[in-house]
Structure 1
Amino acid sequence: MKIFARIRFYYSALVISVVVSIMILLLGLFPERKGSILHFWNKVMLFLLGAGVEVAGRPDEKAQLYLINHQGIVDIITLEALLDKNLRWVAKKELFEVPWFGKLLSGAEMIGIDREDRRGLIKLMKDVKESLEVMHRPVAIFPEGTRSKDQKLLPFKEGAKFIAEKFGLRVQPVVILGSKSVVNEHEKTSTGGDLKVIFLPSIDVANAPKDWYERLHRQMQETIESEYEAHAISR
């Protein structure tokens, strides 16, 4: 079983590498069609990975900021496949330096943030403002900042809260379950299975209570626990 999971992982890695290469090429040839290129080819990638997706709740067409729990690259693939929105993801600067994958992030004009630079939050604010007002692209952030190893959400970083309150954004929390079964990058395994994506109700931060961010964290954690207890679906 473990050998099969390892073989499946390397197949998945090959699929991701090939499709990423295609996207890099197409983004270079047709930069004005970023959104449609990313949406279509991430759908293709999800299909080739053999992962079905169950959706609960509704994506908010007016959402400006998506906050998502994080387990791996499949989280990004899944949301890009579901939403034809030309999302602008916030990623740590180091990922832009990764061979090949960094070219995709740069070509798609994603947002890089340097966690070691005190001016990182100022740059993030400028990039978010440009995304919404100039590029008209919603922003997607993993508020945990890194990947959790179990069912418990890590504490949310304050950056997402700050920019949401600074610009009075409409925020939609999203819970993605099952991504580590599809591709577990740490253990280099893939056991297959389907994903579940839960779009929770949006929050109008401009009119939200002061503890909206803490409530959001609690709601996402309760959703994760409820799905695990009811359907044995892990994050």
Structure 2
Amino acid sequence: MQRGSSRMWWATIRTVLFYLLVVPFTLTWAAFFGLFAYMIPYPLRYYLVIGAWARGMHLCTQYILGIRVRVHGLEHVPPQACVIVANHQSAWETYFLQLLFHPQSQVAKASLLKIPLFGWTFAMMKPIAIDRTNKRHAMMQVIELGSQRIAEGNSVLIFPEGTRASPHQLLPFRQGGALLAKAAGCVMVPVSHNAGQYWRNDQFAKRAGTIDIHIHPALDSSTADAADLMAHAASIISNQLHGRVS
């Protein structure tokens, strides 16, 4: 019991140090590039702003929080733009996946673009900002803007659960990612991870450990309807999360 309390105490201290560093880092980074990022051509703008920021966040996560990463299946990252569908457990995957699929546009809440400094700079990175209160309109935005991003060479990251789930839990998948892949004529890549075991959504302190992230083989969007395609992706991710992989 005492050893467990000690580990939690150190985890809390590490987490406080982490936020004391990354919050000013993120705001300063966003303010600095917000002044002139619009003058940098895309995709170089993406690599200088989002790519470098994500790398800095990863280093802070590794050396301050003690969270390391094992990536499985890098050979499955397609050379062309694709739709990425991943389970959602924490904030960690929102920046780490930027290091695996690039350049990348993320489907995000429109309210994020209103955050001073951060939101203004983020808006120049070609996100797909949606209003979640109008689901029908949001779906149309994902398909229309997502198809444009893919045609421009950007992969699109979607969390089909729509919100963060607890570790080992998988919420129902919405079909937006499959509909976008079919509309854009590109492959869909399922990604699974166990980030929530260390970066829990319901706890402040982050636990040290190793996150395993699996990039699964791409799915051909032309061979099935959207419902079957998304069901297949959900099955792949669920099997990995629950150890049902041969």
Bin the TM-score by the shorter chain.
0.7 to 0.9
Matched residue of 2:222: which SS? helix
Q: Deviations over 1:165-217 (max 9, x none)?
A: 22332111111223551x33531111122222211000110124662211110
Q: Do the aligned partners of 1:15 and 1:45 also contact (CA within 8 Å) in 2?
A: no
Structure 1 CA distance for aligned equivalents of residues 172 and 23 of structure 2: 32
Match of 2:47 among 30, 36, 42: 36
Structure 2 CA distance for aligned equivalents of residues 219 and 130 of structure 1: 27
Q: Structure 2 counterpart of 1:34, which letter?
A: R
* Counterpart for residue 233 of structure 1: none
Match of 1:218 among 235, 238, 243: 235
> What pairs up with 1:1-235 in 2 under 5 angstroms?
1-24=7-30, 25-26=32-33, 28-31=35-38, 32=41, 33-37=44-48, 38-50=50-62, 51-57=67-73, 58=75, 59-83=77-101, 85-117=102-134, 118-133=136-151, 135-181=152-198, 183-208=199-224, 211-226=228-243
Q: Structure 2 counterpart of 1:11, which letter?
A: L
Q: Do the aligned partners of 1:172 and 1:201 also contact (CA within 8 Å) in 2?
A: yes
Q: Do the aligned partners of 2:105 and 2:155 also contact (CA within 8 Å) in 1?
A: yes
Q: Deviations over 1:37-93 (max 9, x none)?
A: 22222112211222322111122222411111111211022111233x120000122
Q: Root-mean-square deviation (CA), in Å?
A: 2.4
TM-score normalised according to structure 1 size:
0.85
Structure 2 CA distance for aligned equivalents of residues 100 and 30 of structure 1: 12
Structure 2 CA distance for aligned equivalents of residues 179 and 201 of structure 1: 23
Residue 96 of structure 1 deviates from its aligned partner by: 2.8
> Structure 1 residues 199, 180: CA separation in 2 closer, same or farther (over 3 Å shift)?
same
Matched residue of 2:122: which SS? helix
How many residue pairs get matched?
Answer: 226
Structure 1 CA distance for aligned equivalents of residues 123 and 219 of structure 2: 30
Structure 1 CA distance for aligned equivalents of residues 110 and 194 of structure 2: 26
Larger radius of gyration: 2
TM-score normalised according to structure 2 size:
0.81
Q: Structure 1 counterpart of 2:93, which letter?
A: D
Extract unaligned runs of 5+ from structure 1.
231-235
* Counterpart for residue 3 of structure 2: none
